[in-house]
Structure formats: structure tokens, C-alpha cells
Amino acid sequence: MEDYKIPKHVGIILDGNGRWAKERGLKRSEGHKEGFETLKTISKYIFKKGVKVLSVFAFSTENFKRSNEEVDYLMNLFIKGFKSSIKEFNDNNIKVVFSGRKEPLKDKVYEAMEELSYKTKDNTGGILNICLNYGGRAEIVDTTKKLVNAVLNGLINVEDINEELFEENLYNNLPPMDLLIRTSGEVRISNFMLYQAAYAEMYFPKSYFPDFKEEEFDKALDVYNKRDRRFGGINEKK
């Protein structure tokens, strides 16, 4: 199709790993393991489709409320998973960046994040933004502090602060989100990229994240293409 639109920035709230495992009589951790594999497969596919930025919600600041066992499992999965996928991301020319707070992540987790982002920093085939220990409100607060400090240090004037400057000073300087997908049928944002998603089209497929395969993303693109994005204006063509 000639004018088939490909969103520039896609966000995915990776949800339903636990329910996916439960339905199969498996431990929640098995769902997380499978979810990580799906993340690698689907991100490669999404970039091949022409998407430039993919932001995924992997662990929220609120997810520390879960049992120690589950949090430890996830942190170890991140350590092992990031280390073992450096080559795969490089082979696919994917640059990985992270969004989130450092505290209270253990050094080993943070080091694995740093290593993955450093070793993929020159790749040009798409940016995978992994939101880990991330909260949308926390990001807005942290950005505000950064700008206040810049004012106090005489680097900028209060009058310089506008929406563009704010966007540039978020954890990563990314374009606005065009399409936000949340798997597992839940219909809420759960504190994901509040600033970036202001005008995102939203799509809530029923499938659990481990089942979110290529065809599921194609469906999301079809839905996106049927949407009429107006950004507060009027679409003269309609």
C-alpha cells in the first residue's frame, strides 16, 4: 500500500508474562524468560518494518513491590540476558539505550546496562529504549531538577524552558511516541512515558507479551493506519 504509515516511535508495555506462565502451569519466572526472548524477536521485526525508536517497559519503579524472589529473578535475567545479547543486537545494527533511575539497582545490573549500551552505541538501524526501574512521573521530576540546576548554574534562563527543551532533557532525547501498545488486555498506562505518549495512538491487544509475535505487530500497524490523528486540529480530508 502506497501511503501505509509506519510510526516513528513505538512504545510497548510488556505485560502478561505472569499470566502466560500461570495458564501453562509454569512459574511466573518462566513467563519472564519467554518474554525476554519475545522482546528480542519482536524488536528485530519492528525495526525491519521501518520503526526508528522502540521504547519498552521492562521494569517499573513500582515493580520493586513484588516478592524478593521475583525481583531477584528479573534482575538476574537482565544481567544474563543483556550480556548474552550484545552480539545479537550488534548483528542487527540495533542501538540500545536505557531510561530509568540508577538507585536502587544493584551494581551488577547497572554494569550490564552500561555495557550493552556502550557496545551498541554506534549502531544505526534503530534505537531500542529499555525502560528499567522507570517511572513516567519520576522522569518528569528528574528532568525538572536537571533544568532547575541548569538555571541555578547560569547555563539557561527560566524563559528558555519550553516543551522542546523539556523533551530534549528527558532521560533520552527521543521523538514523541506515535503508537503505544499494551499487551495482555489491561487498559492503562501504569506510569509509562507520560510526557512522550501525550498524543500516542493506543492499542490494547488481548495477547500476553510472550505471545506477541510478528503477526500481532502487523495487526497493530493496521489499526494504527485506520486511526485519524488530529493533534487537536481538524482533518480537512475527512
List active site positions. 15, 63
Binding site for ligand IPE (CB under 6 A): 13-19, 57-60, 63, 74, 184, 186, 188, 190
Smallest gap from Cβ 184 to ligand IPE, in A, equals 6
Site for Mg ion in 183-212 (CB under 5 A): none
- Whether the CB-CB separation of 56 and 128 falls below 8 Å is answered with yes
Tell me the β-bridge partners of 10. Answer: 54, 179
C-alpha triplet 197, 202, 219: angle, nearest 5°: 130
Smallest gap from Cβ 135 to ligand IPE, in A, equals 9
Q: Which amino acid is residue 11, in one-letter code?
A: G
In terms of phi and psi (left: phi > 0; alpha: psi -120 to 50; beta: otherwise), the region of 218 is alpha
Smallest gap from Cβ 66 to ligand IPE, in A, equals 8
Cell of 111: 554494569
Q: Rank residues 61 and 147 by Cβ distance to ligand IPE and give the closer one.
A: 61
Each residue 4-43 as x (binds Mg ion by CB under 5 A) or -, in order, gives: -----------x----------------------------
Smallest gap from Cβ 238 to ligand IPE, in A, equals 34
Q: Rank residues 21 and 221 by Cβ distance to ligand IPE and give the closer one.
A: 21
Closest by Cα among 56, 122, 54, 113 to 85: 113
Report d(CA 190, CA 88) in Å as an integer: 30
- Whether the CB-CB separation of 136 and 177 falls below 8 Å is answered with no
Among Mg ion, ligand IPE, none, what binds residue 19 when CB lies within 5 to 8 Å by partner kind?
ligand IPE
Closest residue to ligand IPE using C-beta atoms: 18
Cell of 27: 512459574
Q: Rank residues 15 and 178 by Cβ distance to Mg ion and give the closer one.
A: 15
Among ligand IPE, Mg ion, none, what binds residue 60 when CB lies within 5 to 8 Å by partner kind?
ligand IPE
Closest by Cα among 60, 61, 59, 20 to 38: 20
Smallest gap from Cβ 189 to Mg ion, in A, equals 13
Cell of 228: 485519524
Among ligand IPE, Mg ion, none, what binds residue 120 when CB lies within 5 to 8 Å by partner kind?
none
Q: Which residues bind Mg ion (CB under 5 A)?
A: 15
